[in-house]
Amino acid sequence: MNEPDHPEKPGHPEEHGTEERGAVLRLPTTADTEAFGRTLAAGLRAGDLVILDGPLGAGKTALTRGIAAGLGVTGRVSSPTFVIARTHRARPGGIGLVHVDAYRLDPASGTGVLDELDALDLDTELTDAVVVVEWGVGVAERLADRYLLVRLRREPDSDVRTAAWEWVAR
């Protein structure tokens, strides 16, 4: 595996009293994307919300697998597209993960995306686990006063991805 060019681990805003913005990272392989997820996990705490933004194939689920590995959760991590949300239990002394795929939340359903998101009861999960929401931009921000936004892009005709992240306060 090629090691991605990582700056120091992304810090938690409460450790520094400031919002942190990361550099843009080049992630040549899926393994590099997962490694970056493990790096991000080192700075996450129970109660943190992570919103992943990027088109199909950008590496959102691969990044989530890395975050899960870094948190040490149990179970296989795969896209929760059809079930909307999967809960991954923490190992003893660890932090759990709730993995949400907001792609299938239907704005034309009549109930509204926000009502569908509320029905998942993620507010309860936010105190005990890290919640990662794929396709969450414009939908999940209201779940927390601050969140880690990770933007993933895939270079055309390539497996190379780029990632940029920042802590955002509402």
Domain boundaries, the chain: 20-169
Task: Please state the pTM of the whole predicted model.
Answer: 0.79
Strand partners, 100: 85, 133
Phi, psi values for residue 109, rounded to 5°: -70, -15
The b-or-e profile of 18-47 (16+ CB within 10 A means b, else e) is eeeebeebebbbbebbbbbbbbbbebbebe
pLDDT of 7 reads 40
Question: What CATH topology corresponds to 20-169?
Answer: Rossmann fold (3.40.50)
Per-residue pLDDT of the chain (170 residues; tens, 9 = 90+): 444 444 444 555 555 344 456 779 999 999 999 999 999 999 999 999 999 999 988 999 999 999 999 999 988 777 655 555 667 677 888 899 988 887 765 444 444 444 555 555 555 556 788 999 988 888 778 778 899 999 999 999 998 999 999 999 98
